[in-house]
Structure 1
Amino acid sequence: MKIINLLLKRPVGVIMLWAGIILGGIWAGLTMEADFLPAFSVPKLTVIAPWQGVPASQIRELVTIPLEDSLSSLGGLKEINSISRDGIAVIELEFPWGTDRTEAGIRTREVIDLAWQRLPSDASKPQVLAADPGDVPIITLAVYPKNGDLMIARRLAARELRARLQRIEGVGSVQVSGGLVEEVLIRADFEAAAGIGYTLPVIAQALEASNIDSPSGTITEGRTEYIVKTRARAQNITELGDIYLPQLSEDQGSSNVRLSDIADISIEARDPVSFYYSASGQNDSLEGVRIVIRRRDGFSPTKMAANILEEMPEIKRSFGESLSIEIVQDRSQALNKAMRNLVVSLLSGAFFAFIIILVFMKRLSRALILLVSLPASLLSAVLLLFLFGRSLNLMSLGGLALGVGMVVDNSIVITERLSRRVNARDSLQQRQINISETVVSLVPSLAGSTLTTVIVFLPLIFISGLPGALFGGLGLSVIFALGSSLAAALSLIPVLYMVLNPEASRADRGRGFKQLRRLVRISLRRPVPVILAVVVLIAAGFLPFSKIHTAVVSPVNEGLIRARVMTAPGTSAKAVSQLARELTAETASRTSASQVTAHVGGEPDDPYFLASAEQSAETIMLSIKYPLEYGYKRIEAELSALLELPGSSFVIEPPENILEELIGGRDSNDWLLSGDNPEALRRSMEAIILEPELDAAGVVMLPADTKRTVRITPDREALASYGIGVDSIAGQLGSAVYGRVPTRL
């Protein structure tokens, strides 16, 4: 009572206080960080261990199991899962929620450094990814050479353009694929080399040791110190050919064999391991270079995309003479659209709330008083979010939008009761007394109803894990808005009512009020039918639950679907790329798609490609962008008819939900069959997939079908007679098949 009287005696102070809160909320809304999602980091790490050319069974025994044994000693490790495939082991580590992923990554790398020493010598060092290998790319660029030279396009994209993009704030990783990679190719004459005793490993070791600039210490002359450096690195292929090969024995004397004597040296395009095509309408598919840009861990995807878009005009001007650069996919557009729709919903809700208040209050003065409580409550909540270190994001704005209708409830009750108890013709002192008594009488009921609603949203703040990180801001926004609305109803509304002094309401509420009163009386006279009707409605409300689709978050449809075309294992890269080129053009011309892109394979230094269970050198990844008004089913039917190809299979995935991908959700079911016999497990899984109750469309089985294998069984007795070990034969074959990269020019 005393507090209410104090507020009513100082109306100017109360109004100025709330004006300051409103201005503070506006300032906070303009200055606080705006993001699409709350800032959080999923405590998962991925370890990838490539070993080229080794089958999955040996990868499991020689790489995966030793690494798992070492990684299991990590403190705080919650779960560890692994997949062994031909040429690579992928190990996923999950830590308890709240674990610092950076610190966990440092500890994991320390364990990997020790475990690597116990792995086979020719196995590559395992890499630790502080990100999900399925991390969604935000922006994809297509780079086309204006002169048709894919080698130049790839060189500029991989060196200069990539470095330019990585300097942009928020950019995490930039992966380049497609095009042609130039390399210095040394074709050794094996007969000539063998005739003088040189093998391919010996030649590679000679190049590695000779083509290098080595520091040789320092010398001092007077007061100046100089660094001594031995310059031996070749500057061109001519100097590379002039490198002398080492002597094979002490009896040989000095070596007079140069590299150019036993090998042809040239600069050529490396056999491509990745391809990229795009097409739209009736145009033929274009081959180019694909650049995939992912955000830095914890950085806003929309902010990163905005930074890139701001730099794109200058980037295009810098490379305009040689390259044509296009943004073929910007997934931040769907996020920005969702945010705009949410803001529009918030403003629309406030507008319609005012219209409804005006209709039922029948007085503009009272409606305006209530209207003030709406921005006062919402902006107070924004200010509180700012003080608590929160950001404006999809969840916090969603909480404010959810509270638009609730924040005026308390003010409506206060205003309605004041319109009945306070007479505009009374003196100022009498009005103060009437207003104070009215407000005090309503405090218990208003506080109780507000607290009841707050308790409903309070658990969202204390939920742990991903749901808490996502929905904690939503619950906090609603709680702040409701608390602010109660404070405004008990302080600002009475003061404004006293100052503006609107006319008292009439007792007659019109025909609508009379009909409502009549309906209430009928319900009170017949309680049993009313209770039965309510019970039936409640029961009917539970029936659709089993039919309603459940998801972590509501989908944000971008009008983008993907299709995977899996060719037979062992299909040559040339055949797969030709099929990808044809499919890109045909999909663009024979379907309703507005744009079609396709990529095949990936680079050996791309950890996302290596860790992916979906991508491979024999898989064509199609991305189809379609008008939203056409619908997914139409595109799916058109694609199904187009992708029925002999000797291959395909999977059409539904439209991607980027919001679910950003939080690490996957709309899929994972089945695990365990046992000691991999072949028996595979047959069991194949039998399960063929069950008629299971829709096998979209089912991916890991490990997948393997390539055909050429097995070489050495004659150990013959090898022993020549003094040759099995490891030497294996090394020679590996060098002959894959080649060696001993040095760089």
Structure 2
Amino acid sequence: MGALIDRLIAASLRHRAVVVGATILLAAAGLWSFATLNTDAFPDLTPNQVLVMIEVPGLSPAEVEQQVTYPMEVAMLGLPRTTDVRSISKVGLSVVTVTFEDAVDLYFARAQVQQRMQDALHALPPNAEAMLGPPATAMGEAFQYLVERTDSAADTLSLIELTNVQEYIVKPLLKTVPGVAEVNTWGGMLQQFDVFADPSKLSGYGLTLQDLEAALANNNANFGAGYVEDRGERLTVRGIGRVTGVSDIANVVVATRGATPVYVRDVARVDVGPQPRFGAVTRDGRGEAVSAAVIILKGSNGREVVKRVQARLAEIESVLPAGVRIRPFYSQGEVVRRTTQTMFTNLTEGALLVIAILFLFLRNIRASLLTASVIPLSLLLAFLAMKRFGFTANLMSLGALDFGLIVDASVVMVENFVRRLAGAGSQSISERQDVLRAAAFEVGRPIVFGIAIIVAVYIPIFALQGLEGRMFRPMAFTVCAAVLGSLLLALTYVPALASYVFARSGGSAMEHDDPAWFSKLRTRYQRALEWSLLHRRRVVGATVGLFAVALISVPFLGTEFMP
């Protein structure tokens, strides 16, 4: 291992221009990765699952469970690489959730569930409508907005009209945005045509409700009737029978009595009304409203999708009817922006603090700047690895970065350079480079072992499964990628660049001489060290005692999954 490390360092010093050029190329790739990296506020903790939703109007929860949920759930059993199948039954709705292993491709899982769903349809009631849920997660609600009246139209537009604008104008256009999986509408009233039959009039004409229902069903369709040829042209014959409004429904013929037709309007009243609903949305204490949530595809870049949604909404504003406007009230992009801004502000402040401490203890401007340059380069290498392996930038993955760990290897390397050069005095360029080579060989192996120990601490985290794994693996991966990147830089980039930076003797003596405060600090440390060596039993006993107290206090600590 030691010989391999020495060969790597020697090759870096021998081909230092190549090493510096390769570092610049890696930094450029890291910048590209950072610019295109998926950014979220928090990691997606939802399992890899597919939803099967079945609508069966009119059935109670118990009937839904017996007639719909049970056969569909049984059909999903035995799918490859599934972890569990569970369900929930509500009034007129069944939701079966099939959870797969995290490594299973989502669209492969959806294909398997789709096939089983089709096989189970014959066991469901005739009016059951089954569909797969969108390829999204519970964390996918990226944007929410209101479709509301303007102040000038506050008393003229109804909830039904606002819902029609959302369902037939806004929603279809938003679903064409790349990265959008679904647009869910909340509140409002879906329009339907209501036929209120008059039992006495039906009885007077000798009709029943079944006759009225059959007449409406049979007179609401278009049909083709072939074609006719006229003077060398083929004309298609079509029968137009679909109803388009209240008057068409009212003019449907239910039956004939003698030579007189009986219309729907003769036995019933036709009107426009809302469908039965199970909830409502209110806003600002001013009554009901229509709202919607944009659901993004699993794995999409939430920040970029939100930008595209906002741009599309700006286009939609121009085609909205008079008196209607769209007012956003939640944007995941804004949450991500604030989170990432806070995160990078803290990282910048931490980097500046590390640089200040480096200069304070290394007492050499060139050495401090060389060591500090490892911080952004290590982060760029980490971003490159995150892009390659599909990790997102979020509070968990980036918040755990420790700049002390990142510069640890470079600090040891550069400090040894400064110490050896200070003791060598004035020398030629080739002699100073020989000193740098010897100094790098001296600490190369301890640096590798130290970083290996740090990485070994995070290895058990990669073995976590389920929710814990989804939460902590990105953090462990990012830290390991940054630390291993700093190790590579410490063994290649730092010696190569140091051969340029420290090639010529220079700088004031103050860069090498210890200041008075540092000498006092070192003297006190030497005294403490000597006392510890003379009283080894006391020091070891106190350490063991503190460890025992820490173990005893563990049962009294509060525990929770997240703060």
- By the TM > 0.5 criterion, same fold? yes
| Cα 1:178/1:58, change in 2 over 3 Å | closer
1:81 and 2:80 equivalent?
no
Q: CA deviation at 1:206?
A: 1.2
Given residue 130 of structure 2, which amino acid in structure 1 is its aligned partner? P
Given residue 557 of structure 2, which amino acid in structure 1 is its aligned partner? K
1:116 and 2:121 equivalent?
yes
1:474 and 2:475 equivalent?
yes
- Whole-angstrom CA distance in 1 between matches of 2:501 and 2:138: 60
| Deviations 1:147-180, CA, capped at 9 Å, x for gaps | 2322322221221122222222322222223334
CA contact 1:179–1:275 (8 Å) conserved in 2: yes
| Partner-residue secondary structure (3-state), 2:312 | helix
Given residue 59 of structure 1, which amino acid in structure 2 is its aligned partner? V
Name the residue aligned to 2:546: 537
Aligned pair partner of 1:167 in 149, 166, 176: 176
- Whole-angstrom CA distance in 2 between matches of 1:77 and 1:495: 51
| Deviations 1:103-155, CA, capped at 9 Å, x for gaps | 3333333333333323333x422333246896663322222223232232222
| Cα 1:510/1:85, change in 2 over 3 Å | same
Unaligned runs of 5+ in 2: 1-5
Q: Report the TM-score, using the length of structure 2 for normalisation.
A: 0.85
What is the RMSD computed on CA atoms of the aligned residues?
3.2
- Whole-angstrom CA distance in 1 between matches of 2:183 and 2:18: 56
Q: CA deviation at 1:100?
A: 3.0
| Partner-residue secondary structure (3-state), 1:548 | coil
- Whole-angstrom CA distance in 2 between matches of 1:47 and 1:6: 59
Name the residue aligned to 2:198: 189
| Cα 1:200/1:229, change in 2 over 3 Å | same
Q: CA deviation at 1:357?
A: 0.5
Q: CA deviation at 1:511?
A: 0.6
Name the residue aligned to 1:60: 65
Name the residue aligned to 2:525: 516
Name the residue aligned to 2:557: 547
| Deviations 1:203-234, CA, capped at 9 Å, x for gaps | 11211111211123355668755543211223
Name the residue aligned to 2:513: 506
- Whole-angstrom CA distance in 2 between matches of 1:517 and 1:431: 31
Q: Report the TM-score, using the length of structure 1 for normalisation.
A: 0.66
Is the deviation greater in 131-140 or in 74-83? 131-140
Name the residue aligned to 2:149: 145
- Whole-angstrom CA distance in 2 between matches of 1:103 and 1:16: 42
- Whole-angstrom CA distance in 2 between matches of 1:29 and 1:476: 16
CA contact 1:41–1:101 (8 Å) conserved in 2: no
| Cα 1:26/1:94, change in 2 over 3 Å | closer
1:18 and 2:23 equivalent?
yes
CA contact 1:35–1:302 (8 Å) conserved in 2: yes
1:406 and 2:405 equivalent?
yes
Q: CA deviation at 1:351?
A: 0.9
- Whole-angstrom CA distance in 1 between matches of 2:269 and 2:15: 96
1:417 and 2:416 equivalent?
yes
More helix by share: 2
Aligned pair partner of 2:166 in 130, 150, 157: 157
- Whole-angstrom CA distance in 2 between matches of 1:105 and 1:8: 54
Number of residue pairs the alignment of both structures matches: 542
| Cα 1:5/1:66, change in 2 over 3 Å | closer
| Cα 1:253/1:392, change in 2 over 3 Å | same
| Partner-residue secondary structure (3-state), 1:429 | helix
| Partner-residue secondary structure (3-state), 1:120 | coil
Given residue 520 of structure 1, which amino acid in structure 2 is its aligned partner? L
| Deviations 1:327-377, CA, capped at 9 Å, x for gaps | 223344333322222212222221110000011112222212212222333
Aligned pair partner of 1:129 in 117, 128, 133: 133
| Partner-residue secondary structure (3-state), 1:93 | strand
- Whole-angstrom CA distance in 1 between matches of 2:384 and 2:96: 44
| Cα 1:90/1:364, change in 2 over 3 Å | same
CA contact 1:137–1:293 (8 Å) conserved in 2: yes
Given residue 168 of structure 2, which amino acid in structure 1 is its aligned partner? R
Q: Which one scores higher on RCO, CA 8 angstroms, separation ≥ 6?
A: 2
- Whole-angstrom CA distance in 1 between matches of 2:137 and 2:479: 35
Name the residue aligned to 1:42: 47
CA contact 1:411–1:489 (8 Å) conserved in 2: yes
Query: Where does 1:123-522 land on structure 2 (aligned, <5 Å)?
Result: 123-130=127-134, 137-146=141-150, 147=153, 148=155, 149-150=157-158, 151-218=160-227, 225-246=234-255, 256-269=261-274, 273-279=278-284, 284-319=285-320, 321-388=322-389, 391-398=392-399, 401-402=401-402, 404-422=403-421, 423-461=424-462, 463-501=464-502, 505-506=512-513, 509-522=518-531
Q: CA deviation at 1:2?
A: 5.6
- Whole-angstrom CA distance in 2 between matches of 1:8 and 1:108: 58
- Whole-angstrom CA distance in 2 between matches of 1:49 and 1:6: 65
- Whole-angstrom CA distance in 2 between matches of 1:137 and 1:17: 41
Name the residue aligned to 1:30: 35
CA contact 1:172–1:294 (8 Å) conserved in 2: yes
| Partner-residue secondary structure (3-state), 1:256 | strand
CA contact 2:136–2:295 (8 Å) conserved in 1: no
Query: Where does 1:566-581 land on structure 2 (aligned, <5 Å)?
Result: none
| Cα 1:424/1:319, change in 2 over 3 Å | farther
CA contact 2:135–2:181 (8 Å) conserved in 1: no
Is the deviation greater in 232-241 or in 1-10? 1-10
Task: Using the aligned pairs only, state the percent identity.
Answer: 20
Unaligned runs of 5+ in 1: 556-745
| Cα 1:535/1:225, change in 2 over 3 Å | farther
Is the deviation greater in 387-396 or in 375-384? 387-396
| Cα 1:526/1:106, change in 2 over 3 Å | same
Given residue 297 of structure 1, which amino acid in structure 2 is its aligned partner? K
Given residue 110 of structure 1, which amino acid in structure 2 is its aligned partner? Q
| Cα 1:42/1:220, change in 2 over 3 Å | farther
| Partner-residue secondary structure (3-state), 2:280 | strand
